[in-house]
Amino acid sequence: MRSASLQDDFGVLKETILSSCRPGPVYYYANPGNWGDALIRYATLRIFDDINLRYTELKKIQRPKWALPWIGTVIFGGGGAWCRFWDHSDMVEKLRKEFRCKVIILPSTFEHPLPFPRTLFFTRDKYESRRAMPQALFCHDMVFYLENSLPPLNSEPGSGKGFFFRTDIESSGKIPIPAENIDLSKQGNHFSEAGPFFDAINRFAAIYTDRLHVAIAGCLLHKEVHIYPGGYFKNRAVYLSSIKDHFDNVHFHENFDLYLDP
């Protein structure tokens, strides 16, 4: 680790959540997605606990019968839900109509502007997302909050190369997928346990991936990490914003040769 702790940058996010969520009630809706989104959810709930935030987690977009309209805040989980491949705008609109209260969207990647009123946005990169959403605040991807508090691991640090390339529509389509590839993120969803995800990565010494949260988990486990572009700018932007100046032995590759050392 080379520069100040990433934790220093979560202070603004914590203070903003606490100040914006007065008075309550507060509702949290996790960004729906794959196993990588489960890491975001796990880290988000850890932050809520650390700041003693009282909240109700929503499993579906429906206001509880006891909830009063026009009062409170809905927090929508961070992630990559605002691009050409995935767009959860309809979910936020449903939350806004159902609850009719303030909305906070936690650190996300934005490929295009979002015009939601009464909404506070956080971006997780300082580059393309900030240009698309100049009014947004910056904070690292929520999973970086686990820098010093990973979930318990059941595996010892391993050896060899682990290949974790995506096989869905967000793939660049330029990477020759190795036979031993594991598209780990597709093996769970946003409610899956976080520990086994870290365990799967911990079994290797070097990680090769275009999955952002595989790369982040590899960084937090102090692995040798090789990050490759996906279908848009997300990986490079987060690498420059949160990884390049904070973690050693992590490499971003614009080319797609998987087997040569940089």
Report pLDDT digits (tens) over 159-182.
999 999 999 999 999 999 999 999
pLDDT at 137: 97
Mean pLDDT of the chain: 93
pLDDT over 90 at 5, yes or no: no
Local confidence band at 2 (pLDDT 50, 70, 90 cut-offs): low
Two tokens at 182? 């594991």
pLDDT at 262: 46
- Return the higher-pLDDT residue of 101 and 234: 234
3 state DSSP class of 177: coil
- Distance in angstroms (rounded) separating the CA atoms of residues 240 and 129: 12
pLDDT at 256: 81
pLDDT over 60 at 246, yes or no: yes
CA 200 vs. chain centroid, Å, equals 18
Local confidence band at 27 (pLDDT 50, 70, 90 cut-offs): very high
CA distances from 35 to 26, 169, 189 (A): 25, 16, 4
pLDDT over 70 at 68, yes or no: no
Cβ(174)–Cβ(190) under 8 Å?
no
Closest CA relative to residue 228, chosen from 255, 249, 207, 202: 255
pLDDT over 60 at 110, yes or no: yes
Lowest mean pLDDT among 2-16, 127-141, 229-243: 2-16
- Residue spans per domain, the chain: 6-147, 148-252
pLDDT over 80 at 57, yes or no: yes
pLDDT over 90 at 115, yes or no: no
Local confidence band at 15 (pLDDT 50, 70, 90 cut-offs): very high
The fold of 6-147 is Rossmann fold (3.40.50)
Mean pLDDT value across residues 220-234 = 97
pLDDT over 90 at 189, yes or no: yes
pLDDT at 185: 98
Local confidence band at 1 (pLDDT 50, 70, 90 cut-offs): very low
pLDDT at 60: 87
pLDDT over 70 at 141, yes or no: yes
- Distance in angstroms (rounded) separating the CA atoms of residues 216 and 29: 22
pLDDT over 90 at 155, yes or no: no
Closest CA relative to residue 75, chosen from 4, 127, 18, 129: 18
- In the chain, pLDDT over 90 holds for what percent of residues? 82
Local confidence band at 69 (pLDDT 50, 70, 90 cut-offs): low
pLDDT at 97: 84
